């Protein structure tokens, strides 16, 4: 890979990662058997397809920074033996805490948790080079390489992700972008909660329950994301927190790009906060519809573009100044009470003799104690997880939110029936 200058968005994430956690992960449970040798060969083939798997950041002065593959080793691949079916969650928890050294690279690593006739493949990435959808493309290509170890199929050519900044329909930064973003963030935030060691928990909904939830959402003219916002706002109220609740909603910028992003490792995501009122016992769906409308409004190109372009206005700040400001802001006031990232993972289930049975996203991007909830839709099911440095609070919040979600779906099914 030829050296490439970091885009403004990438430079911002690099500055964040110098002082705060910025790790994301994807875990796939694969039914079937393989060998360490085949996995290493498959990872090597996948690295040829996705060059950002093996890069580092080379800095020059307070403003210059480049991706380079010079002197970067292959991504780490280690193997552990599962002691129980949930051993992989402890691995995710441990790996999310481990920072990447951007000066040496690489900015990705992998762990295989072996368990009888299946294995869990955990991929951990610096957010600088990856978002939730792009890491699923890496997993897909790795499994394809495992299914075709002789290389009989024509290998896909290598693709270096074009920075999102270069694909925006209106790339030129506007000073008004700062005002737009400031208005969007006005009133958002709470003092950070007590911060401890990162905790990670995962759970899932089966096909029947997932179908029921999605059917009810359609009947009520709400999205799953809107329903989740309402359920977590209600859970916050249960725990005595004030209303409205600040919820950070993840947004895929691929929806507004002037040219499509390739299916490779890269960063094409942002997030925005919305305020969600705590619903009463019988109006969860009313709040869900309102949240759905708010989210759809924020997903319009004219709303997303300022968020994507504002990093261009920050490129004039020296990196260390930017890093210090970001850390001070995080420790003083968090911009959200809960972060929600959800999406459908559009990759196959079957890879020769291997079958991908589950997918769990995870992220560690905050030390404020605010829970980061991820929801992956895959093969007709929902796979959910939460990370937080305030584990007991996050676990109770998620339990209450899921209880409210399930109750709303059952009540609605009874009423509509």
pLDDT tens digits, residue range 304-327?
998 888 888 777 777 777 777 777
Would you say the C-alpha torsion 219, 222, 228, 232 has a positive or negative sign?
A: negative
Mean per-residue pLDDT, 114-135? 96
Residue 242 pLDDT level (bands cut at 50, 70, 90): confident
Residue 186 pLDDT level (bands cut at 50, 70, 90): low
Phi, psi of 262 (to 5 degrees): -75, 160
Please report the pLDDT score of residue 416 as a whole number: 43
**pLDDT greater at residue 53 or residue 262:** 53
Please report the pLDDT score of residue 137 as a whole number: 96
d(CA 241, CA 4): 46
| CATH 3.30.559.10 applies to domain 4-148 | yes
Whether the pLDDT of residue 413 is over 60: the answer is no
DSSP 125: E
Whether the pLDDT of residue 373 is over 80: the answer is yes
Please report the pLDDT score of residue 52 as a whole number: 96
**What pLDDT, in 10s, does the model give residues 133-171?**
999 999 999 999 999 877 655 556 788 789 999 999 876
pTM of the predicted structure, to 2 decimals: 0.92
Please report the pLDDT score of residue 389 as a whole number: 92
Residue 54 pLDDT level (bands cut at 50, 70, 90): very high
Output the DSSP codes for 240-306: T--SSEEEEEEEEGGGG-SSPPPSSS---EEEEEEEEPPP-TT-HHHHHHHHHHHHHHHTSHHHHHH
Whether the pLDDT of residue 381 is over 70: the answer is yes
Across the chain, mean pLDDT equals 89
Whether the pLDDT of residue 106 is over 70: the answer is yes
Where along the chain do the CATH 3.30.559.10 domains lie? 4-148
Bridge partners of residue 110, in order along the sequence: 77, 123
Would you say the C-alpha torsion 310, 312, 316, 320 has a positive or negative sign?
A: positive
Where along the chain do the CATH 3.30.559.30 domains lie? 175-342+365-416
**What pLDDT, in 10s, does the model give residues 285-303?**
999 999 999 999 999 998 8
Please report the pLDDT score of residue 188 as a whole number: 58
Helix or strand holding residue 111 (H, E): strand 108-115
Residues in Cβ contact with 371 at an 8 Å cutoff, skipping those fewer than 6 apart: 338, 339, 386, 387, 388, 390, 393, 394, 397, 398
Percent of residues, the chain, with pLDDT higher than 70: 93
| The CATH fold of domain 175-342+365-416 | Chloramphenicol Acetyltransferase (3.30.559)
Please report the pLDDT score of residue 414 as a whole number: 47
d(CA 388, CA 222): 27
Contact 228, 401 (CB under 8 A): yes
d(CA 411, CA 258): 43
Would you say the C-alpha torsion 238, 244, 248, 254 has a positive or negative sign?
A: positive
Report how far apart, in Å, the C-alpha atoms of 205 and of each of 32, 117, 209, 236, 292 are: 23, 23, 6, 22, 22
Contact 310, 173 (CB under 8 A): yes
């Amino acid at each position: 890979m030829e050296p490439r200058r970091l885009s403004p968005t990438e430079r911002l994430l690099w500055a964040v990662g110098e002082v705060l956690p910025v790790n994301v992960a994807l875990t796939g449970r694969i039914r079937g058997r393989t060998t360490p040798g085949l996995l290493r060969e498959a990872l090597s083939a996948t690295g040829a397809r996705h060059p950002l798997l093996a890069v580092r950041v080379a800095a020059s002065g307070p403003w210059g920074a480049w991706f380079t593959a010079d002197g970067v080793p292959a991504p780490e691949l280690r193997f552990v033996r599962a002691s129980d079916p949930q051993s992989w969650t402890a691995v995710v928890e441990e790996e999310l805490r481990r920072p990447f050294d951007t000066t040496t690279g690489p900015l990705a690593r992998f762990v295989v948790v072996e368990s009888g006739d299946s294995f869990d493949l955990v991929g951990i990435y610096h957010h600088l080079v990856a978002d939730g959808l792009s890491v699923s493309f890496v997993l897909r290509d790795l499994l394809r390489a495992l299914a075709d170890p002789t290389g009989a199929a024509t290998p896909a050519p290598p693709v270096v992700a074009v920075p999102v900044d270069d694909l925006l329909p209106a790339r030129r930064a506007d000073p008004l972008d700062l005002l737009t973003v400031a208005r969007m963030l006005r009133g958002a935030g709470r003092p950070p909660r007590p911060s401890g060691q990162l905790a990670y928990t995962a759970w899932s909904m089966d096909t029947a329950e997932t179908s029921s939830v999605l059917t009810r959402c359609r009947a009520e003219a709400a999205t799953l994301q809107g329903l989740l916002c309402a359920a977590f706002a209600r859970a916050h109220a249960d725990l005595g927190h004030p209303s409205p609740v600040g919820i950070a909603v993840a947004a895929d910028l691929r929806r507004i790009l002037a040219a499509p992003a390739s299916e490779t490792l890269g960063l094409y995501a942002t997030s925005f906060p919305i305020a969600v009122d705590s619903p009463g016992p019988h109006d969860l769906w009313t709040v869900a519809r309102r949240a759905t409308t708010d989210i759809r409004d924020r997903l319009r190109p004219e709303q997303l573009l300022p968020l994507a372009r504002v990093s261009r206005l920050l490129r004039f700040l020296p990196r260390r100044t930017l890093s210090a400001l970001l850390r001070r802001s995080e420790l003083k006031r968090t911009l959200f009470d809960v972060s929600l990232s959800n999406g459908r993972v559009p990759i196959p289930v079957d890879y020769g003799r291997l079958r991908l049975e589950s997918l769990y996203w995870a992220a560690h991007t905050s030390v404020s104690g605010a829970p980061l909830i991820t929801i992956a839709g895959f093969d007709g099911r929902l796979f959910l997880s939460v990370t937080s440095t305030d584990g007991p609070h996050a676990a109770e919040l998620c339990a209450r939110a899921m209880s409210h979600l399930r109750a709303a779906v059952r009540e609605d099914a009874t009423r509509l029936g």
